Each structure stands twice: as structure tokens, then as C-alpha cells.
Amino acid sequence: MTNELDPDEVREAFRSRRGHWNDDWEGMLAWSPAYVAAYLDFSAHVADRGALTPKFRELVYVATNCTPTHMFEKGLRNHAREALALGATKAELLSVVATVSAMGIHSYLLVAEAVAAMVPDAAKRTDAPTAARVKVDHAALFGQVLAEIEPAIALDSDFYEKWLNFAAAPVRGQHAALSVKDAHLIALAVHAQCTQLNQAGVRQYVAAALAHGASVDEVLDIGRLISSMGIHAMVFALPVITQFAVEGG
């Protein structure tokens, strides 16, 4: 990396386009203004041209930072603070977290799909009317029942119905604070992020978001927005490497 760019100009451009600045960026700027400028251009694409509001972008970042596969506290704190500054409520933040907390169902989906393939008669244990009712409820929430979901309902519709009620709490429950569309976009982000890359979850929530009124640009913007979270490698490593360099010197 070369440092041919003016650090002050890069800092101001970052504040203007991303709306914030913190010590993490200051450390990167000291190493390479060119790197920070390139990251800014990449990460601000959605903010510059996209379909998601500033508050919703911060809610997406809150979701991806609190997932069980990431749990990046510094990022969670920074983006929760930014979301609140942009008008988000505690109820919205907790509804985002509640949406993320439902992602564990994919453990059961994987197991159910394998069992259905290896033991074709296993689904006969399930009550057909119950399974039919659960499919209707799933379709109401997600827009359709994808092939990946069929075995999970067929093998244990009672269990799947309990998960549906849990997953729907952020949009149906007493403290619900998200629209169905926004909840599906949040869930899409956590399944598509680089620490998860769950293809079945991505398919399910793309379909669900579109079914509940999301535009193609909104869906694509989720993928564009979270593509920048690889920067956490630098946020994590730069202070450690810098400390080693100082100690070594």
C-alpha cells in the first residue's frame, strides 16, 4: 500500500459518505490512506446509490455483528450506537436480535434433509393435517415452502410449528417492532454474511423478502452491504500487529 493520498481528505470523505469515524479507521489511516479510501469506495456503494435507509443499514450491521457465528462486540456497540442516533428504538434493536436468534433452525433442517433421504418412510410418523396446517403458516410468513423445508415439516411438524412461532415473534409478538419485509431482509443478511454463507437460508429469505414486497435492489443491497464485513479482519489484527512492531522495536 502507498500513502499518496492526503489523510485529512480521506478522513473527511469517510465521515461524509459513511456518516461516522472512529479510532479503528484512524489506525488504518495511519498505515495506509489508500487502503482506507479503497475500502470507503467499496463499503459506501450502498449508501451512495442503494435502496436501504441509513437507519436500516445500521440495523443490518447490528444483526451481522451479533450472530452466533461472529459475535463481534465492538462492531455491535458501534452500529447499535449509530442506529440509535439515526432514530432506532430499543424495541427495534431487540427485534433485530430476536430475528437473528431464530437462525439456529438450520441445524434441524440439515439433519431432517439427511434423514428424509436415508429413511424415506420416516415422514409417515407425522400427522398429515398438522403438517398441512404448518405448511400454510410457513407460507403465510415466508411466501412459499421451498424444497429444503419440506423434510423438516414432514418429519416433525410439531417442532417446526414451535420454531415458526419463535421466528415470527419479532413481527407478530407483543413487542414486535419490525415489518415482515424488514425482518426477512435482516435474516437474509445473517445467512449471507461471510461467517455463515448458508445457501438454504439465503434462498429462503430472498424468496420471503420478495414475497413481502422487497425490491430486487433492496435484496441485492443486503448482499452488497454485508460484503464489506471482511474489514473486521483488519480491525482485529491491526492493533495486535502494531503492538508487536512497537515491542519489537
**Using 50, 70 and 90 to split pLDDT, how confident is the model at 248?**
low
Instruction: Encode pLDDT of 2-15 as tens digits.
Output: 447 999 999 999 99
Report pLDDT for 65. Answer: 97
Is the pLDDT higher at 124 or at 7?
7
The whole model's pTM is what?
Answer: 0.91
Asked whether the predicted pLDDT for residue 75 surpasses 80, the reply is: yes
Asked whether the predicted pLDDT for residue 159 surpasses 70, the reply is: yes
User: Of all residues in the chain, what percent carry a pLDDT higher than 70?
Assistant: 98
Q: Where are the domains of the chain?
A: 105-166
**Using 50, 70 and 90 to split pLDDT, how confident is the model at 1?**
very low
Separation of alpha carbons 102 and 80, rounded Å: 20
Pick from 144, 151, 232: nearest CA to 184: 144
Report pLDDT for 93. Answer: 97
- Tell me which long-range contacts 82-90 makes (C-beta under 8 A, separation of at least 24): 82/19, 82/20, 82/58, 83/55, 83/58, 83/59, 86/54, 86/55, 86/58, 87/55, 88/55, 88/58, 88/59, 89/177
Phi-psi map region of 71: left, alpha, beta (phi>0 left; psi -120 to 50 alpha): left
Report pLDDT for 247. Answer: 72
Separation of alpha carbons 104 and 102, rounded Å: 6
Cβ-Cβ contacts under 8 Å for 15 (sequence gap 6 or more): 21
